[in-house]
Structure 1
Amino acid sequence: MSSYQGRGLHGQVVEQLGERIVGGVYPEGAPVFSEQLEREFDVSKTVVREALKVLAAKGLVESRQKRGTVIRPREAWNLLDADVLRWQGREAPNFVFLENLAEVRGIVEPAAARLAAERRTEDDLAELDAALAAMAAAVHTPDAMVDADLRFHRALLNAAHNEVLSRMEVILAAGLQVRDRFVHHSRHGSDPMPSHRALLDAIRDGDARAAGLTVEALLAQAAADLAQVREHAEGTTKRTGRTPARRSRSAA
């Protein structure tokens, strides 16, 4: 499902309520009062009703007889929804979610890289080249680096010429954006250029084995970068006494 960002009052209500639910502001089972939302957002009943329908489709809320609308437990959420993925890390990073994402990337991207090395076209190589150039130009601009990195990995999946793998972009890109924002905005990330350049060279050479191994090495470095960010964040929490990043239920 596409993002509701920027779609008028309706989109604003969806965005803010979604962030609150995924961010743990509203706990499981908490009631959602339409009248209160109408006053808070200064919108009509119709706007609130339609926004709650969108959130219900994402598995975040449900209507119950005699109880009205309530927040659903995390295990009921549609975690593959692009908005839910994006809301995962709006404030403090959910490191368990990011580690789960890393596992999925480890399953999907090496295989995609091997296929890309065998099937890539000149257009695919041109898009990978352009994405790599954008990464190089953005090396000192974290937000631009996030966009360029997403562009590169999207191009990688598309170069495999498998429509199912291409659809995985919705999952990987939304989640990768969360991970990248914390890594590239920290001082703990490594230089991503050598590994991405080596991957592109392997794909250009048509070397499927090298492409797969290079992605595995790239992902290992990404995991190490994330571990450093997590260690720093948890160390800061211990020193300052600030509330740690929210964990998913699976971390318990």
Structure 2
Amino acid sequence: MSGYSGRGVHGQLVAELGARIVSGELGRSDVIDLAALGRDLDVSMTALREAMKVLAAKGLVEARQKRGTYVRDREHWNLLDSDVIRWRSQAGDTVAVLRDLAEVRAVVEPAAASMAALRRDDRDLAELDAALAGMADAVGAGAAAEVAADLRWHRAMLRATHNEMLARMDVLIEPALSLRDALVHETAADDPVPSHAAVVEAVRGQDPEAAAAAMTSLLDKAAQDAASVLGGRHTEEEEAVTE
């Protein structure tokens, strides 16, 4: 591989190494020959060591005296990390990533909508309305705009719970939601505004049961859209895990 140059060298190096680990190119439990890897990537040992520190924080590698730096078993990886989620998708694990996302969202977001219905204030409603307007404006404006608008809405709903830990669930939802939306954008998907507006109206009406039901319906449709996009790309066995 040619050397790195210009801005973002550190980020590029982390991404390259992370992708190699997640894909299995750098095998688990393998001791990494840093000198050889540095020559292969045409980077300095200083840059390589800095990148390894980032990967260690994500649970992908560990350095020990006498053993050196080695790839950790998958059970130690931070699978909630946005980079790890992206690298899994790049390695062909998109179906599993989206399946896991759908299951996590089904656990978290209906309950969050229910809680938001009980706790929301005027400021929350204003942000949800603004996010809905942003979604309407983004329709047809391209994948990046539609993804950003969708993420804004989900963040606003999580914040409306007034639970700080739930609000930070966007760290988990964002990368995989971006992946799903980017895939679905290429199809003739339905207008997303009505399904999201139904949740907002239930929250506005302080109806927790209706809010949870509307969110569940929204998530069911999102999962169906993703399964439809992926259906032609995977075997029947892979398709089954998305159901």
Instruction: Please identify, of 102-111 and 114-123, the stretch whose mean Cα deviation from structure 2 is larger.
Output: 114-123
TM-score (norm 2): 0.85
Partner of 1:152: 153
- Residues 76 and 32 (structure 1), Cα distance of their counterparts in 2 relative to 1, 3 Å cut: same
- Residues 188 and 23 (structure 1), Cα distance of their counterparts in 2 relative to 1, 3 Å cut: farther
Partner of 2:43: 43
Please tell me the root mean square deviation across aligned C-alpha atoms, in Å: 2.8
Partner of 1:226: 226
In 1, the alpha carbon distance for the partners of 2:76 and 2:40 equals 27
- Residues 57 and 199 (structure 1), Cα distance of their counterparts in 2 relative to 1, 3 Å cut: same
In 1, the alpha carbon distance for the partners of 2:144 and 2:27 equals 31
User: Aligned AA for 2:11?
Assistant: G
Partner of 1:168: 169
Count of aligned pairs between the two proteins: 235
User: Aligned AA for 1:89?
Assistant: S
In 2, the alpha carbon distance for the partners of 1:228 and 1:130 equals 30
Q: Is the 8 A contact 2:22 2:91 kept in 1?
A: no
Percentage of pairs with the same residue: 52
Q: CA deviation at 1:95?
A: 0.6
SS at match of 1:69: strand
In 2, the alpha carbon distance for the partners of 1:182 and 1:188 equals 11
Partner of 2:74: 74
In 2, the alpha carbon distance for the partners of 1:149 and 1:91 equals 25
In 2, the alpha carbon distance for the partners of 1:224 and 1:123 equals 32
- Residues 230 and 24 (structure 1), Cα distance of their counterparts in 2 relative to 1, 3 Å cut: farther
* Structure 2 stretches lacking a partner, 5+ long: 1-5
* Structure 1 stretches lacking a partner, 5+ long: 1-5, 239-244
In 2, the alpha carbon distance for the partners of 1:116 and 1:108 equals 12
- Residues 201 and 213 (structure 1), Cα distance of their counterparts in 2 relative to 1, 3 Å cut: same
Q: Is the 8 A contact 1:78 1:84 kept in 2?
A: yes
Alignment of 1:209-224 (within 5 A): 209-224=209-224
Q: CA deviation at 1:72?
A: 2.4
In 2, the alpha carbon distance for the partners of 1:93 and 1:229 equals 15
In 1, the alpha carbon distance for the partners of 2:52 and 2:74 equals 17
Alignment of 1:2-21 (within 5 A): 8-21=8-21
User: Aligned AA for 2:172?
Assistant: I
- Residues 214 and 79 (structure 1), Cα distance of their counterparts in 2 relative to 1, 3 Å cut: same
In 2, the alpha carbon distance for the partners of 1:143 and 1:18 equals 24
Q: For residues 146-165 of structure 1, what are the alpha-carbon distances to aligned partners after superposition, in whole Å with 9 as ceiling and x for unaligned? A: 11111111111000000110
Q: For residues 159-214 of structure 1, what are the alpha-carbon distances to aligned partners after superposition, in whole Å with 9 as ceiling and x for unaligned? A: 000011012111111221122221223x1633322101111111122221111100
In 1, the alpha carbon distance for the partners of 2:200 and 2:123 equals 13
- Residues 138 and 173 (structure 1), Cα distance of their counterparts in 2 relative to 1, 3 Å cut: same
- Residues 115 and 74 (structure 1), Cα distance of their counterparts in 2 relative to 1, 3 Å cut: same
Q: Is the 8 A contact 1:9 1:43 kept in 2?
A: no
TM-score (norm 1): 0.82
Partner of 1:58: 58
In 1, the alpha carbon distance for the partners of 2:65 and 2:190 equals 52
Q: Is the 8 A contact 1:38 1:48 kept in 2?
A: yes
Partner of 2:114: 114
